[in-house]
A and B are shown apart, each in its own frame.
Chain A
Amino acid sequence: MLTQLRDQFRKTEVYKSIFRHSYQDTQRNRALQIVDNVFLHLHPVRVPRHATNLGYTWGMGGITFLLFIVLTITGVILMFYYRPTAQYAYEDMKYLMNDVPFGPLIRNMHRWAAHAMVLTVMLHMFRVFLTGSYKPPRQFNWVIGVILLVLTLLLSFSGYLLPWDQLAIWAVTVGTNMARATPLLGHEGPFGPELGLRPDNDVRFVLLGGTEVGPPTLLRFYVGHCIFLPLIATIFMIVHFWRVRKDGGISGPPPGKNNF
């Protein structure tokens, strides 16, 4: 009875419009499974066997992407409970950690995934270097990878300020204090004073929206953290993944390597 119903359902126009092929385990269906799926279509239909070997790939690029998705989802949830003003930010954090159902879990996941992502990006880069995968034809994708590394660090750093507690404000103070020493652009950097730079008109002032880490900085970092940086990172990730395919898929020994 149920089987009949299922078979009947599979013949309907609705079903056929969603699922383009059957589930029989054939070579053709395995290929269609990839090609007919917008997400899996990121992959080629077939890969060299070493691409499935964790010892070779370490899986760090994929884990980084997974963590980015986790961060996007938990980040959006956190945005419902957080107001980026000096008056409310810390109160909202306390509320989130004490009264919001699953609030601590969401926030912890966001924080630990962020730390983990910095780590996996570094390890991914380490692996790509050690296998020489940046060599032709993949030179430019390495450059995009470096940009993504910088964006990851900036994302993590801008998020660090948002809890608006002692840890946040002083870590960001230490970090952004470097900007005042920028040569030519900071008021304490080489040739800065000579060019007429003061604490209230140099590059650090632009970054912080003030002469010290204050409420305008919180808003600036919030917008950067939630909108600007994720958007830019997404664009570079699209190019990164697309280039992996266009540059010949996962790196591996050149074909001639087999016939030494």
Chain B
Amino acid sequence: MQQFLEIISKPDNIPIVLLLVSVIFFTWLAWAKAKKNDSQQIPEEAKMDDKVQVWPYLVRMEFLMSIVVMAVLVVWSVFLDAPLEEPANRALTPNPSKAPWYFLGLQELLVYFDPWIAGVVLPTLIIIGLMAIPYVDINEKGNGYYTFKERKFAILTFCFGFLILWVALIVLGTFMRGPGWNFFWPWEKWDPHYVAVLTNVDLSEMIGIPTRLPDNSLNPVAFLFGGVLVFGFYSLIPIYWMMKRKTEIMKKLGPLRYNIVAFLFLTMVGLVIKILLRLGPPILGLNPVKYVWVTPWFNI
């Protein structure tokens, strides 16, 4: 526990504590406002649409906020020194080696995925996905006020991605990943000699299909099995389209928007499934899953 307090109070980790506190606060605030708006005919914001002069009403607010922010920043800077460790030394690798805090969610994903997915493909998809949001969200309601009722899917998806897959993984990666990137509970001491037994097996091996043949070449059956699983997963996109294409919402969405939304959404779901395939089996006394699909060029 003492070690946990030490890590939490490291100067460079203060932003994560702030992140956690502010995200919880603002989620609650937005939730309360959305609930209030949803329970009445007119959103609160619409009652405040009379115009006020920017001077003084807005400028005054900005001025006050600037003073508060500067005061906090100066006090923070007077009392807490930015870290400066020993000089850079390529021969001395710290354990654990961690990226800056805002990338620790992605670094945490390295546990479950190969670097090309966790470090390149997923960040790219996050950026592209974020940019696509305004063009694929065709729901006209909920523009300019807090609401939940009018856009449940959009808000739930975004909040899951931001609060769980981004913020929670950052917190996990910073505070609970010790030497060797091993998991430690807050009350446990980070033991640098702790050796985690790696019993990961590929998904095909769980049902008795070895990934490698005795001569260490790839087993075509396992290759096929994984390929069918991955392609089968993404074939949910056309299947769902065929089932629902007659509905109002699908017609409005159109095939292009639908494919983008479905692909991004399924990828996010697939990410969670892969994490659960690693964490779930040990609870049932089975081996954790390493890869779903092994190919000569890449593994998923």
Residues of A at the B interface (CB closer than 8 Å) are: 27, 30-31, 33-34, 40, 43-56, 58-59, 62-63, 66-67, 70, 86, 90, 93-94, 97, 104-105, 107-113, 115-116, 118-119, 122-123, 126-127, 129-136, 138-140, 142-143, 146, 149-150, 153, 156-157, 160, 163-171, 173-175, 177-183, 186, 188-191, 194, 212-214, 251-255, 257-258, 260
The answer to whether B55 and A166 touch across the interface, beta carbons within 8 angstroms, is no
Stretch at the interface among B97-105, B250-258, B272-280: B97-105
- The proximity string for B residues 28-58 relative to A, scoring 1 for CB distances below 8 Å and 0 otherwise, is 0110011000000111111011111111111
B19 within 8 A of A: yes
Residue from B84, B92, B131 within 8 A of A163 (CB atoms): B84
Using a CB–CB distance below 8 Å, which chain B residues touch chain A?
Answer: 12, 14-15, 18-19, 22-23, 26, 29-30, 33-34, 41-46, 48-59, 61-62, 65-66, 69-70, 73-74, 76-78, 80-90, 92-94, 97-103, 106-107, 114-116, 118-121, 127, 130-131, 133-135, 137, 139-147, 151, 154-155, 158, 162, 297-298
With A190-B297, A253-B145 given, can you name 14 additional A-B contacts, CB distance below 8 Å?
A30-B55, A93-B84, A94-B84, A97-B81, A104-B77, A108-B82, A109-B73, A129-B133, A135-B143, A150-B127, A166-B86, A167-B83, A178-B119, A181-B116
* Minimum CB distance partner of A45 in chain B: B54
| Chain B residues with CB below 8 A from A86, complex form | 88
**Chain B residues within 8 Å of A123, by CB:** 22-23, 26
Lowest 4 CB-CB distances: which A-B pairs, in order? A178-B119, A139-B134, A181-B115, A108-B77
Q: CB distance A130 to B97 under 8 Å?
A: no
Q: Please, how many angstroms separate the alpha-carbon atoms of A116 and B94 in the complex?
A: 26
Q: Identify which of A62, A135, A157, A214 contacts B62 (C-beta below 8 A).
A: A62
Chain B positions within 8 Å of A90 at CB level: 87-88
B133 and A142 contacting across the interface, CB-CB below 8 Å: yes
Determine the chain B residues whose CB is within 8 A of the CB of A142 once the complex forms.
131, 133-134
